[in-house]
Structure formats: C-alpha cells, structure tokens
Structure 1
C-alpha cells in the first residue's frame, strides 16, 4: 500500500466543498462578528465621549444663567467649568475602556460558538474560574472598587497636582486599577488605587502662596510691616497677576524670636496650581523692597566646635 498516494479526487472535492461551505457560512459570520464588534466599539466610544461632553456643556450653560457676576465669581465659575471638563474626560476614558472590554468579550464568545466550541460549558467554566480568581484576586477587586469610587466622587482628575503619600506630582492617567502620577523630576509613578489611603489635591478650589521670612533681630518691625504691605498691595493689583490672585494678602505678626532671627510670614490666596509662581514673585519683590528700605535678613546660624562638644 502506497502511503504517499494522493487521496481520491472525490474526497478532495468533498473537502474543498466543506471548506467552501464553512467559509461562506461560519467564516463569513465570524468576519461579520469582528466587524460588528469594531463598529459597535467605535460607536459606543463616540456616544460616551459625546454624552460626557454634552453633560459638561449643559452644566456650563446652567451655571452661566446666573447672569452678571463679579470678577472673583467669574474666576470661580471658570475654574469649576475646567474642573468639570477634567472629570468628564476622566470618566469618559474609564467608561470607554469598560465598554470596549465588554463588547470584545461578547464577540469572542460568539466567535468560539461559530468555530464549533460549545460555549455553555465554557461560560460555566469561566464562571467557576472567575469565582476562584475573585477569591485569589481580592487585591485587584479592591483596586477596581477604589478606582470606581475615586472616579465617581470626583476626588481627583487627570491634570490635578496631587500628593498620594507614595507619589507627588501631576495626574496623567486614572483607570479602574491604577493611577499614574508624573513627579516634578519626570518620573512616572504608578500607584494601585487600593493602596491610596489619603489624597492631597492641590488643584481644588484655591491654594495658598506662603513665604516665610527670617529677619535680623535688629530689624524695625513696623518698617517690615510697612514694606510687606506695600509689596503685597502692588502684587495683588498688578494686571499680570490679578487673574491668579484670589484674595488679599495676609501678613502675620512676629511668629518666633530667637537670638539670631525674627520670623514673619506672608500668605496670599491664589488659583490652584499657581502658588509656586506667586511665591517666587513675592520673594523677588520682597528682596528688592527690603534692600531698598535697609531691612536685612537673618544670617545663617553656625554652631562652633566648642558648642558641639
């Protein structure tokens, strides 16, 4: 018997016919399923993005119905509108990711059914495996639940400057499992949502620009106050900074006195995220004004070897 003999022509034709029949039935349905999944995923993504965008636009229109507002209220409204836009973008990204996962999971089950796999046992097995995985993946479930809570309670949003205890910086991405924060030195930190115990959000409502001053004990306190009042008044009315500063400056009295310094503090309420620029400008102006008025800063304290011994 010749093992390498060609199969009979009838068998070859029958195989080709079965392949053709499968191609124009199940094969065509698989192609349609994949195309439909891609189309539905794209439409769902567009609808979700449109939904959240409409939500923001409607909210902004309702806010503007109030009519004429003072400059500070207008600034607060603009900040609130920007915040809503951040939240909508964050929720939109999360919702589109979940919708895409569900759509392609259903498409995969339908494709398996078309290739002859009995999906009922597969689904049942997946249910059992899902239960076992859920017991073994409690950490992931915890992360997802924490992510959902953070998204819908608007605790943080993409673009916020936050302190997550483990990382401090600008939020670049939030999903259901992790939050990614870019620190000031450029490092991208990824923190699991379930591990976030406290959140310090520096982009909500307002921030405080705080400048601490160590002055020479011989400085005239009244003169120091006069110079600081003049500097802060000029800064808060400067057209370049008026849209950033949200309130009058607060100048403290003497906070502390020791043998080498007198401590004062200047605090200005500013728009969130603008405190560092205002602090730098305050220091520059205060330094120049003190130099002109003859006010000197305290010298660094040194401990000599005898005192250390």
Structure 2
C-alpha cells in the first residue's frame, strides 16, 4: 500500500533529512558519548582496584613490620591483634574516601564532556564550576579543616575505635571515627561528638601501656616501716596472683613518703599494666591494701575538713 499521499514532497524530504542528521549524530557524537561513559566506568573500576591494592599493600607492610618487631620485642598477642584491627580499619576508611573522591572527579569530567558532545557550550559551565568551587571552599573552610584533620588522624593511627582517650573537650571510649567528627562515649553514658579540626591534643590511654596509680593517705600514728612491710606484701601477693599475669607488665612499685603534714603522710603504689586495664588493677590494689591495713591495725588518715570562714 502506498502512503506517500500522507506527506507532501517537502515534508518527506525534511523527515528524511532529519533522520539522516540523527543517524549521522549517532554515528559520531553518539558513539563518542557511549565511549566516554564506557571509559569513565572502566577508569573508575581500575582506580578502585588500584587504590584498594595500594592500601592493602600498605596494611600488609605494616603487618610484616609488626611481625618482625614482635620477634625482637616479644609484644603481647592481644596487642598485635588490636594493631592489626586498627590498620584494617584505617586502610578501609582511607580507601573508601579515595575511591569516592576519584569517582566524583571522573563523573564530573564525564558529564562536562558529554554536554560538549550534545552541543552545549561548556565554557560558562566550567567557569561557573570554578567560581562555585571557590565560593564553596571559602564557605566550607571549617569542613575542609575537619576532613584534613580526619585523614591525618586515620593515616597516622593516632586513635581507633575502642581506645580510651581524652580529647580535651571529652573523655571516654571512642565509638566512632569518620573524616569529619570523632564520637566518644563518656563514663556517664553521654555521647560526645567532637569535630576533628577542633582536636588540638589527644591523650590516648589505650596504647603501649597504662599505669595503675593508688594514692594512700595514712594516719601519722602509723609507723612507716610497718606500712612499707604491709605494702610490700600486697605488691608481692598481686604479682604472684596468676589471675593478674596477663594484665601486669611489671611488678608494682611502692614509693617512699611523698608528703607529710600534721595528720597524715602519703605513699603511692604504681603498676605498669596492659593499656586500658589500669582501673581494674587499681580497684584490686585498693581492696588488698584496705584488708592488709585492717589486719595490721594501720589506720588511714581522716579526710580533711575545710575550716569555717571567720
């Protein structure tokens, strides 16, 4: 059946011309757009693999170095596992950040190239992106500062989830770290969120070792020689107790007289323990000292009472 009567000769020629133009565009710009998309996807996959391989290599190198150090220093196995977990967490976080940044850059370049193929003048778009980026950089200085500080903290392994830290603004156990903020759960259960850029100093109480410190205020009626003998027996007892072998790194030490006044004198016990275990050791030492002093008839000093104002 002949349908030529539906279109005039001019309309038919116009339709054929439009179809030819569309097919020509598909064969040129369309193919280039498809190629841009394919290259962007392949490049993202390759960069993701390379970035992951880089950080895995970095983590494996750290693990090998730790194994060599352990052979020389004989570090505790639990400490080695904690260090390995920290390295894995740090490598995963940094890898995800690098992949996201690379993906954003690749996607932005691909979109600009596709718009250029469609026929859009991309020069104003590029200029606008530059101005917008400058404005965003000026307005987001605080965020950028937080992100850079977060990368440095993770890369240098300053803190990790589970560490007990003092961030000056908050003290407690680290429950979450990301590139912008660090969250700390304090002893009373409050969840503190501190911006990484605001962290000036960090006291990490979960690295290397901790010191269990027990300060004793003793009545000045007690004989110092007897006190020394009793504290020595307490230290020997906890050092010989097998239940504390994994926590105690060195035998606790007893100080001499630290201070004296009319009602008391002070002594101190210090024990080097596994990181984060000082509170348990301090509690046991106080209990042992209380029982030993009670058996020996040694009294603690009465608490100081503030004198009423005249």
- TM normalised by structure 1 equals 0.76
Q: How does 1:164-175 map to 2 (within 5 A)?
A: 164-175=167-178
**2:217 match: secondary structure:** strand
Deviation for aligned residue 1:43: 4.8
1:59 aligns with 2:60: no
Number of the residue aligned with 2:107: 107
**1:204 match: secondary structure:** coil
C-alpha contact (below 8 Å) 1:44/1:96 kept by paired residues? no
1:95 aligns with 2:85: no
With over 3 angstroms needed to count, the CA separation of the structure-2 counterparts of 1:65 and 1:258, relative to structure 1, is closer
Q: How does 1:140-155 map to 2 (within 5 A)?
A: 140-155=143-158
The whole-number CA distance in structure 2 between the counterparts of 1:284 and 1:88 is 40
The whole-number CA distance in structure 2 between the counterparts of 1:173 and 1:40 is 30
Q: Structure 1 residues 110-119 or 292-301, which shifts more?
A: 110-119
Equivalenced residue count is 291
With over 3 angstroms needed to count, the CA separation of the structure-2 counterparts of 1:106 and 1:197, relative to structure 1, is same
Deviation for aligned residue 1:138: 2.6
1:157 aligns with 2:163: no
The whole-number CA distance in structure 2 between the counterparts of 1:97 and 1:230 is 55
Q: Structure 1: 5+ residue runs without aligned partners?
A: 1-9, 67-72
Cα distance per residue 1:122-152 (max 9 Å; x no partner)? 3442222212322333323332333333333
With over 3 angstroms needed to count, the CA separation of the structure-2 counterparts of 1:41 and 1:170, relative to structure 1, is farther
Number of the residue aligned with 1:4: none
Greater Rg over alpha carbons, structure: 2
Number of the residue aligned with 2:309: 308
1:264 aligns with 2:267: yes
- TM normalised by structure 2 equals 0.76
The whole-number CA distance in structure 2 between the counterparts of 1:187 and 1:45 is 37
C-alpha contact (below 8 Å) 1:86/1:159 kept by paired residues? no
**2:283 match: secondary structure:** helix
Number of the residue aligned with 2:195: 192
C-alpha contact (below 8 Å) 1:162/1:170 kept by paired residues? yes
Structure 2 residue corresponding to 1:241, chosen from 234, 239, 244: 244
C-alpha contact (below 8 Å) 1:164/1:196 kept by paired residues? yes
With over 3 angstroms needed to count, the CA separation of the structure-2 counterparts of 1:198 and 1:60, relative to structure 1, is closer
